[in-house]
Amino acid sequence: MAHRAYVRVLVDVDEIGQVQPVKIYWEDGRCFEVDRLLDVRRAASTRAGGQGMRYTCRVRGRAVNLFEDEGRWFVEARDVPARR
Amino acid sequence: MRTILHSDLNNFYASVECVYDPSLRHRPMAVCGDPEARHGIVLAKNMLAKQAGVKTAEAIWQARQKCPDLVVVAPNHHRYLRFSRMIRQIYAEYTHKIEPFGMDEAWLDVSDHPMGGEAIANELRLRARQELGLTLSVGVSFNKVFAKLGSDMKKPDATTVISADNYRERVWPLPVGALLYVGPATRRKLAARNLRTIGDVARCAPETLRTALGKSGDMLWCYANGMDRSPVMELGESMPVKSVGNSMTTPEDMRSDPEARAVLLALSENVADRLRAKGLRGREVCLWVRDCELRSFTTQCRLRESTALASEIGRSAIQLFRCHYRWEKPIRSLGVSVSMLESEDSDVQLSIFGEADRVRRYELEGTLGEIRRRFGSTAIQRASILEGGYAATLGSVEACGTRFME
């Protein structure tokens, strides 16, 4: 299962209002640069729940779904199994 | 021939909640009103709750009796409105003729679209699933009544086509209650004449129906025979408002005249604010009373002059209340509405006396309404509303009340 991990995002907004995520800041302080924007569309997150504009980005060679839901941004983060 | 779709978002409120918390999909859940405010009824439920026998509009305790594991979720109206707007944006990519029927249903006239009704219906379902995470049931037919019937036939996430060729086989065997606008009273009248299926109604003589149901008998006969020709209204186009009203259930039963009076005044103020906002005034005031045993009645009176003044609406409502309620039982809910509406610009018979005073009061109430609109409903209140002891609740009458007529 996955959950919605809300993140801080640096975005670039061009003169016609198009939004492009540039950097994603993880909660532990790490910063991930968006190498390329692959796709933008409205979508529901089937893995983590929630709905919004889905920005599919290439980050460090992997496709990452970044959602913008009413001004807040989240990624689908894998649930970490509880340690015994 | 026209191509009409009727699109219905399945278990709308519950499905939206499941989008945000996918774990709810595997548990019986219901979206319920606030029991503290005595709005504790089931507003929507998911398929698992439905299978357990939970029904919309029943009390939470009744639902829990049938389904002890029921997960109860509070409603999030802002979110439902947002999803409703988004699905309409999707519809608008296919046609501008979209007639909403509540927040979760709509008719679409796609006669001019080259894709064809069934293909559009399937694409809408796919897009609703992918883009919103919701499922749709879509009826495709050549009129609105059969399209609606189609969307009810197969749920969830299905397309049902009722064509001019197959409606006799698909529609006529169904019970007459499946037809739009046929409620329990009509069903009883038809059953008394041994008319139990839509086919029975379609095959009987129109005169028989007219005798039983009056003018609506003709309408029903046309519906059953696929002759509904009502157009799908364009988005933004709406039926003229026939009445403006508001009702509320108080947190505790009302037991005295001052309590009821305060509630009626607060409701009248809200109704007057809304009449002014729409540029309307009305000549008939209607009172609705529901006692603690859920028995209700309505009564109305005509005014000499049409009005949008809270003081006049409130006075009539209080008068009606005093004439018609004897306090046999405490009261759970009250409602006030104004009908026989006309534009505030239409000509009026002026009274020789007191007209200047009415104009002044209208301006004063307009200013009070504007203060409430800008600074919140508790920003300014009549002292008489404080008498009932519901000041805080009544301050937010708009939030608590459900419009029982508009």
DSSP structure string for B131-187: IIS--EEEEEESSHHHHHHHHHHS-SSEEEE--TTTHHHHTTTSBGGGSTT--HHHH
Three-class secondary structure of residue B282 per DSSP:
strand
Integer angstrom CA distances of residue B300 from B175, B186, B244, B288, B342: 36, 25, 14, 9, 18
Residue A6 lies in a domain: yes
Which amino acid appears at position B319 of this protein? Answer: Q
Note which residues in 2-61 of chain A have CB less than 8 A from chain B: 41-46, 48-51
What are the tens digits of pLDDT across the range B337-382? 999 998 877 766 666 666 778 888 888 888 988 888 888 877 887 7
Chain B interface test: which of A1, A3, A39, A51 (most B C-beta within 10 Å): A51
Q: Please name the amino acid found at residue A1.
A: M
Q: Per the CB < 8 Å rule, is A43 touching B131? A: yes
Residue A49 near residue A4 (C-beta atoms within 8 A): yes
- The average pLDDT across B308-319 equals 93
Q: Does some domain include residue A84?
A: no
Mean pLDDT of B293-297: 86
Q: Do A49 and B19 touch (CB under 8 A)?
A: yes
Mark yes or no for CB contact A50/B131 under 8 Å. no
Q: Is the pLDDT of residue B26 over 60?
A: yes
Domains and CATH numbers, chain B: 12-77 (3.40.1170.60), 172-224 (1.10.150.20), 243-400 (3.30.1490.100)
Q: pLDDT tens-digit profile of B61-93? A: 999 999 999 999 999 999 999 999 999 999 999
B16, closest residue in chain A (CA to CA) = A50
The 10s digit of each residue's pLDDT in B208-266 is 899 888 888 999 999 999 999 999 988 766 667 889 999 988 888 899 998 899 999 98
Which domain range does residue A41 map to?
2-78
Rounded CA-CA distance A11/A29 in Å is 17
Give the ipTM of the model, two decimals please: 0.87
Q: Which of A44, A48, A70 sits opposite B132 (nearest CB)?
A: A44
Distance from C-alpha of A80 to C-alpha of B127, rounded to nearest angstrom? 31
Among chain A residues, CA nearest to B21: A49
Check whether A3 has a pLDDT greater than 70: yes
Total count of domains within chain A: 1
Which of B5, B4, B8, B6 lies closest to B134 in space, CA to CA? B8
Interface contact flag, B82 A50, Cβ < 8 Å: no
Nearest-angstrom CA–CA distance, B185 and B2:
32
Cross-chain Cβ contact B22/A43 below 8 Å: no
Over the stretch A22-31, which tens digit does the pLDDT of each residue have? 999 998 889 9
In a domain, A83, yes or no: no
Asked, for residue A23, whether it belongs to a domain, the answer is yes
- Give the pLDDT confidence score for residue B352 in this predicted structure: 62
Nearest residue, CB atoms, A44 vs list B19, B21, B82: B19
pLDDT at B397: 47
